Structure 1
């Protein structure tokens, strides 16, 4: 296995400094076992083992010998995630006799997330601290798979649209298919109309980059069929209902749903879950041009419902409705979708907590429990069907938005639900896919949210990887 650059095997790090995990309960007894010089050092620095605190301890020669770090929750994957960027460059090894025992799989996930930097255009000015991995840690294949998938989301979302348009998303799907034995079929441009994907075409037709539906297929036909759908709006100007400059600034991230879907597919394939997988990404740019779709137009959809365009900035649900219809035609036993769909979800739940909408009580409960287990939490929001009246149109089956902005995340989810057949379990994640600022393990920029939860859900439902 090729290790990420923030890790080194034990054979290459004989001089690594010890990392000693402590909590407030264990600090006093550990302190008493130290030399008078170390006790004085601790007292002089006021170290209290609070969460996130750390202190370098000198050796008898005055050089750094070890590091103590405060841990409040040993099951938190991000407990040490601040250290790669804050510790002096060098190699560090978890002390086997530390008072607080840490799960190495969680540590390496958090260390990798904390060490991540997007360096396609600008190199990080300082080297990250490296963690020594013993043989048992190197064998933690699932933790590395989770880290790889999370960094894939970050890389895709962080890449500007000039280098991450619909064609580039297709290239990512092809690369994954080649790596894991899948097949990709893509419907591009005018072929969308010929093959009855009119809503995807309507949103993407104004861009110089042709819209497309990307389909990746993988797995044994005898296995349970799971469909994953991701919103791939590679840039969202808002269309003719143009966004403000502030609102448009980070819209390279509006393909964050597709990034999550691609990363989840990578996890499913790399970990060989016993499922038959269909991944669908409707990939478009919501651009402004002479043939941009307009407010007041009525567009067709694959399902046959007519949709009046109330707002061209509510385009994500329009491309997703064709993809969801197509996914349902394949008769999977489960559909999961990811989308950076509404600002309303962020107003309700903030930037860190994805909104879960689900039409099946058992699936919803399993998803929430999976998020708890994976420390990748979601919050369930209601499919409050009386709000469908907000999407009423006088000239079409429904509108893509309405005059009221109240309950915007709910009405968006209700729109999507209209394109999922009754009785087919479906879960929709409205995700922000972004960190507005720097935090331990969460560098500013693209972020995977709900990804580990989704994989934990699938792994529990389809054991035997």
Structure 2
């Protein structure tokens, strides 16, 4: 297994410095057992056993003898995420006699998430500290890390280099690497093959809209469908966004990025499922043939939709993809989308909104998120709010004149395209960190990804 650059093997390490971990419960006893010189050094630097700046402690020759770091919660996957950037560049090995211990998989995941930086366009000011892995790398932790890095990289990449064709290329790459099959329906072929809503949203862009489909696994295994919203840039269409609202719309394909990350996890760890990945990849642009407010568009399911607002485009591309996914009657249908600002108003940037039409599915999803320290918050599919999507000229509208319950009505719109009895969960995700925190760099972020993997593993992992 190849390792990310923030890790190294013992034979490749360069004079690794011992890294001693302490927490509030173990610090005083550990400190009291140290030589007087070490105790004086700790007192002089007012070291406290909590997550923060680590401390280099000198040896008898004046060179650093070991590094000391505090942690707050050994169960937190991000417990060590502050260290790759705060420790001086070099190699470190966890001390065997450290009083505070973490499970190896949490060490590796947290260290890797904390070491991440997006380097496509700018060279980082310094390399992260490297951690020596004395044993084998944990396969699941490394797969989770690789999936999170994929999501971050995709979301951080500007639209000029991450349009519908580039999303398709990522799916093609995954199919090649893992033995899957990938195909795309592009441009006017979408109307020929009955994906009219995807075509309507993406037709105004010079970059052709497409539905990307990746299939992998054994037909004898349970079918799992994963659908991602891939709006590679969202101007808002003719209902154009203001400059503040448009600034970060390269991230509006964050749902597709999460779907790709989860699909990569499924294939890399060989989960025994029959996987279908669907990406509805478009650019919501402004042009002579852009779809307009007041138009009525067709959908694959046959429902007619009046366009109340062209900035409610994500649900339009998703409804065709969800209809197509449900035609194969999967055991589980999941979708991810940066769908509504209303979800962020309700829950803030860190907490994805979960909607599910099955009580057991919702409970399992929430439990998986809690176990992985990757939380979601369930929101209600409050069906009386479907009245907000009433249209006088079509089966339903894509949005409402009311600002009430915006996230719920978006989920209710999607539910109209999921057959009764089909287990389905929808995650409305921000896919972004507005500011940098340990393990959560500013920019693109994987949110709810570990929760989704835990859900799949619990249901299909045997």
TM-score (norm 1): 0.98
Q: Distance in 1 between matches of 2:210 and 2:222?
A: 27
Q: Out of 391, 400, 411, which is 1:413 matched to?
A: 411
Q: Distance in 1 between matches of 2:356 and 2:143?
A: 27
What does 1:327-342 align with in structure 2 at a 5 Å threshold?
327-342=325-340
Shift of 1:13: 2.0
Deviation readout 1:370-426 (Å, 9 max, x if unpaired):
001111110000001111000010100000001111110000000000000011000
Task: Say whether residues 1:11 and 2:25 are aligned partners.
Answer: no
Match of 2:321 in 1: 323
Shift of 1:53: 4.5
Q: Distance in 2 between matches of 1:372 and 1:258?
A: 23
Q: Distance in 2 between matches of 1:361 and 1:25?
A: 39
TM-score (norm 2): 0.99
Q: Distance in 1 between matches of 2:117 and 2:313?
A: 31
Tell me whether 232-241 or 59-68 shows the greater mean CA deviation: 59-68
Task: Say whether residues 1:167 and 2:165 are aligned partners.
Answer: yes
What does 1:349-368 align with in structure 2 at a 5 Å threshold?
349-368=347-366
Q: Out of 377, 380, 383, which is 2:381 matched to?
A: 383
Match of 1:100 in 2: 100
Shift of 1:21: 1.1
CA contact (8 A) 2:54 2:87 kept: no
Match of 1:260 in 2: 258
Q: Distance in 1 between matches of 2:269 and 2:2?
A: 16
Q: Distance in 2 between matches of 1:193 and 1:13?
A: 57
Match of 2:301 in 1: 303
CA contact (8 A) 2:225 2:275 kept: yes
Q: Distance in 2 between matches of 1:207 and 1:9?
A: 48
Tell me whether 341-350 or 22-31 shows the greater mean CA deviation: 22-31
Q: Distance in 2 between matches of 1:96 and 1:433?
A: 37
Q: Distance in 2 between matches of 1:196 and 1:144?
A: 40
What does 1:67-106 align with in structure 2 at a 5 Å threshold?
67-106=67-106
The SS at the match of 2:245 is helix
Match of 2:213 in 1: 215
Shift of 1:127: 1.5
Q: Distance in 2 between matches of 1:301 and 1:225?
A: 24
Task: Say whether residues 1:131 and 2:131 are aligned partners.
Answer: yes
Shift of 1:54: 2.2
Shift of 1:135: 2.2
Shift of 1:47: 1.2
Match of 2:51 in 1: 51
Shift of 1:463: 1.6
Q: Distance in 1 between matches of 2:64 and 2:442?
A: 30
The SS at the match of 1:283 is strand
Q: Distance in 2 between matches of 1:176 and 1:85?
A: 30
Unaligned runs of 5+ in 2: none
Q: Distance in 1 between matches of 2:458 and 2:52?
A: 32
The SS at the match of 2:336 is strand
Match of 2:37 in 1: 37
Shift of 1:333: 1.2
Task: Say whether residues 1:287 and 2:275 are aligned partners.
Answer: no
Match of 1:27 in 2: 27
The SS at the match of 2:109 is helix
Match of 1:189 in 2: 187
Q: Distance in 1 between matches of 2:333 and 2:14?
A: 49
The SS at the match of 2:259 is helix
Deviation readout 1:214-267 (Å, 9 max, x if unpaired):
000011000000000000000000000000001000000000000000110000
CA contact (8 A) 2:91 2:131 kept: yes
Shift of 1:342: 0.3
Tell me whether 220-229 or 6-15 shows the greater mean CA deviation: 6-15
CA contact (8 A) 2:14 2:91 kept: no
CA contact (8 A) 1:52 1:79 kept: no
Shift of 1:300: 0.3
Question: What stretches of structure 1 move > 2 A for 4+ residues in a row?
Answer: 51-54
The SS at the match of 1:28 is helix
The SS at the match of 2:26 is helix
Match of 1:202 in 2: 200
The SS at the match of 1:97 is coil
Shift of 1:51: 2.9
Match of 1:142 in 2: 140
Unaligned runs of 5+ in 1: none
Aligned length: 462
Shift of 1:94: 0.7
Tell me the C-alpha RMSD between the 2 structures.
Answer: 0.8
Shift of 1:24: 1.2
